[in-house]
Amino acid sequence: MLSSLIQLVFIACVGARLITLDYSLRFAAVGVPCVVIAIVFALSKEHELTMPRGALIGSSLGLAIWLLLITMH
């Protein structure tokens, strides 16, 4: 969720021309670790019986979006 909020702030700031896409790496430095931690928690053995597929799918999509934003700059 934190990663999604950071993505929204980044996209809004780029859309308002407050910053350029060159700042994507700085935002991703915070956002990507958040997504990776969420994926690790979703895949942890403790939650094996109730695998949170929504969290895993959402986190994976978040990682894909961050990779897209990084490559766009």
pTM for the whole structure: 0.76
CA 7 vs CA 3, 20, 61, 73: distances in Å: 6, 14, 12, 14
Give 29-57 pLDDT, tens digit per residue: 999 999 999 888 878 766 566 656 777 88
